[in-house]
Chain A
Amino acid sequence: MIKKLLSSDFLKIKRKGFWFLTFLGPFGVVALQMVNYGVRKDYLLQQSDNDWDYYLLNVSTFTPLALVLGIVILTSFMASLENETNAWKQLISLPVSKMSVYLSKFTVLAFLLLISSFILMLFTLAYGVFLDLGEEISYFELFKFSFYPYFAGLPILALQLWIATVSQNQGIPITIGILGVIFTYSAFILPDWMIWKWPSLINEWNEPIINVLLGIGVGCLLYIVGMFDFTRRDVK
């Protein structure tokens, strides 16, 4: 059942800019560094001994912001797809369980964001090579800064999808999303338990993998809570 729903959902997101945004997010993050390094490359290269690591660090300052904004935008787009002509009622009248409808939406978005993370890795690598930052490419750091924020951000995806699907007025999820963006931007002062801190990979133990594991765990939890609330509600 879930396979059918997924292929239906992938058909529905055609021509709605989902794929464009999936590409735009990582491109934007790297493009900001293109501007940054384009304007003051010499200055930036003086800042550290390891130019690759410093470059990756620069890229990664925007990754959490772009990720959270991407989540807010994609979840809201996904909800308005069904909200616009009230297609929820048609979808839920089909022989599918409401749980699998929700799972399918989540899976599509999680997949798009994963693709985004992958594209981010490619772009980061490509521009890094172009900058000629030295032979020693830290592939593990590259992988970490591209994919860890994604897993650490899963709770935010689960939360935003939940709010977006149950809100008639998409102003609510987007406003809450802006709050989340502010939190993410202020990650360094947030307590460790706040989910918006996690994509920045900061924690008091200095172990980014903790944020990844927390992200997957709490992401599942929030996903389940959102799904049950979605199935409980009447369809308008």
Chain B
Amino acid sequence: MEYVVKTKGLTKNFGKEKPVTGLDMKIPKGEVYGFLGPNGAGKTTTIRMLLGLMKPTTGTIHIFQKDLRKERVNILKRVGSLVENPSYYPHLTAYENLEALRKILGVPKKKIYEVLEIVRLSDVANKKVKGFSLGMKQRLGIAASLLNNPELLILDEPTNGLDPSGIIEIRQLIKRLPAEYGMTILISSHLLSEIDQMATTVGIVTNGKMIFQDSIEVMRMLSQQKISLKVNNSEQAWRSLLAKGIKADYKDDTVLLSEHSNKKIAEAVRTLVQDGFSIYRVEEEKRSLEDIFLQMTRGGKEG
């Protein structure tokens, strides 16, 4: 598989603090990669390293299959980014702020109007950014990140400070970009619901470690409801189900069925009854993504 971003054993130490330890990140081309983790988990530090703002203590970063250490400038030509709070020059207008970046990027001037239109700031293009609301500054930051038609777009908490309609707009924009321009997007957030609505691949980080990295479908699967069976002798019941080729788990003196179609459940219950087990309860156990997320991040803390 072609990975746009690939890190290996990425580690950053600030003295005794270790915000990122041994992080392996893989972002396939054309995906919206949701980089998820609680506050202070090491997301921003990782992103700073991806952009060459910080040098990793150990580990390697490859972007577009090129080593970031050797080809930082060539890589960054194809990357757009917005890190944490938006950066801007308050004494310049929105247009001038983008012009200051455009001069360096060397893209045509019409691109400025284009990106201002995308983030709906065209009306205030000639106003000083000093007077902008937080949401407007955030949108200007997103406009800046789109200026060079990036192949990889890195957005750190891009919906920070946006109002609900702004959030929806940005969300739709992010969903549209991979399809229309073949962009790959890395988007970080501490809100699972946000990632859930945009991402196609998810990486969960906590305490500087990657604890989950796979497609959103796999993550959703984890959240699917499970059927739990309380039986007089659970362990034996579980073995007998496995022997009959029915997928099941055994945990906390309960049998958990992975399959949850009515037919499969009926089959499992019938088998157990035929084998002489007493069934006390058949319950549906729902786990939300939040539960999984919390469970994973808590696990990370213990480890």
Contact = CB atoms under 8 A, between A and B. Distances in A.
A–B contact, 8 Å CB criterion (strictly below): yes
Interface in B99-114: 99-101, 103-106
Interface string A3-29: 011011001101110000000000000
B179 interface: no
Contact of A11 (B73, B76, B99): B99
Interface string B43-73: 0000010011111000000000000000011
B87 interface: yes
B182 interface: no
Contacts of B187: none
B96 A93 contact: no
A11 B96 contact: yes
Contacts, number: 89
Contacts of B133: none
Contacts of A96: 73, 76, 104
Given A8-B103, A8-B104, A11-B99, A93 B79 contact: yes
Interface residues of A, number: 26
A126 interface: no
A81 B100 CA distance: 13
A91 B76 CA distance: 11
Given A94-B105, A97-B73, A12 B87 contact: no
B73 A95 contact: yes
Contact of B76 (A7, A81, A93): A93
Contacts of B87: 85-91
A136 interface: no
B5 to A, nearest CB: 15
Interface in A78-108: 81, 84-97
Interface string B67-95: 00000111111010101111111111000
Contacts of A15: 91-92
A15 B91 CA distance: 7
Given A89-B53, A93-B81, A81 B106 contact: no
A94 B48 contact: no
Given A4-B104, A11-B103, A14-B91, A89 B96 contact: no
Q: Which 6 A-B pairs have the closest CB atoms?
A: A90-B87, A87-B87, A95-B76, A95-B77, A234-B54, A235-B53
6 contacts: A11-B99, A15-B91, A84-B89, A85-B89, A86-B87, A95-B148
Interface of A: 4-5, 7-8, 11-12, 14-16, 81, 84-97, 234-235
Interface of B: 48, 51-55, 72-77, 79, 81, 83-92, 96, 99-101, 103-106, 141, 144, 148
